[in-house]
Amino acid sequence: MFRSFRHRAQADQSAERDVHASARDRMVQRHLIDRGIDDPAVLAAMRDVPRHLFVSPEHINSAYDDQALGIWAGQTISQPYIVALMTQALALTSTSRILEVGTGSGYQSAILAHITPHVFTIEIIKELTDRARLAWNAYGCADRITATTGDGHAGWAEHAPYDAIIVTCSPVAVPPRLFEQLTADGRLCIPVGRRLESQHLLVYTKQPNGSMHKRQIIPVRFVPMTGGDD
């Protein structure tokens, strides 16, 4: 009796895994590959990381749609295409050290951790850091991520320099400490804008003379970066 119940429970669980895995495969094809994402490490991460573990329960059925969703504390998890686009722009390798500002649900951090074990992430709302840790434990990537609660305007000097920095909330201007904490050819991907309607995703690359080369990618809508002097 117990045995067959347990077998049924296991079968249910793996059927559920398959449903999510095929939803992820569809998401990767339609929303990423068909829209030009082609970095194999990014595609592998997006195919593997269970986004449904990072959204609040009422959104589980929409977890693999290409849309931003509400999480907790009035914050949002970014849409899969933007997560992939930003990750690809950072040109990561398996040895890159990366700082994320705005842990939120912890989904973007898990994508980064699929590529490199040197992920550092900072979040201003403690409840979100705590919840993200639970999700990383459930997925099994917690040992690749070092997280703290604090204001990312100051970066995280203790672990600098970083080969890449990704900011997932929007300041009105780039906090200068982030430039300082990049390595000699480091990349910074950040949504900048005075208002929600006028934000742009920017990618900065540090040049040999220390100046920053700026590329504007696409218009975006991120939650505002709080704290600092804003």
Burial level of 209, CB count in 10 A (0-12/13-18/19+)?
A: exposed
Q: Does 148 participate in binding ligand SAH (rule CB under 6 A)?
A: no
Distance between CA atoms of residues 31 and 24, nearest Å = 10
Contacts of 152 (CB under 8 A, 6+ apart): 101, 102, 122, 123, 124, 167, 169, 175, 225, 227
Question: Which range of residues in 7-15, 57-65, 201-209, 219-227 is near ligand SAH by CB under 6 A?
Answer: 219-227
Size of the site for ligand SAH (CB under 6 A): 25
Are the C-beta atoms of residues 106 and 135 closer than 8 Å to each other?
yes
Give the residue, chosen from 48, 65, 66, 151, that forms a contact with ligand SAH under the rule CB under 6 A.
151
Q: Does 37 participate in binding ligand SAH (rule CB under 6 A)?
A: no
Closest-by-Cβ residue to ligand SAH is 104
Q: Measuring CA to CA, which residue among 165, 153, 90, 98 is closest to residue 124? A: 153
Token pair recorded at residue 176 = 């200068």
Give the residue, chosen from 90, 164, 165, 169, that forms a contact with ligand SAH under the rule CB under 6 A.
169
Q: Does 76 participate in binding ligand SAH (rule CB under 6 A)?
A: yes
Residues paired with 213 in a beta bridge: 205
x/- letters, 93..132, toward ligand SAH (CB under 6 A): --------xx-xx-xx-------------xxxx--x----
Which residues are the active-site residues?
78
Residues paired with 77 in a beta bridge: 69
Give the residue, chosen from 75, 96, 116, 199, that forms a contact with ligand SAH under the rule CB under 6 A.
75
Identity (one letter) of the amino acid at 136?
Answer: W
Question: Which range of residues in 3-11, 69-77, 189-197, 213-221 is near ligand SAH by CB under 6 A?
Answer: 69-77
Q: Measuring CA to CA, which residue among 225, 98, 106 is closest to residue 156? A: 98
Smaller CB distance to ligand SAH: residue 183 or 226? 226
By CB under 6 A, name the binding residues for ligand SAH: 75-78, 101-102, 104-105, 107-108, 122-125, 128, 151-153, 168-169, 223, 225-228
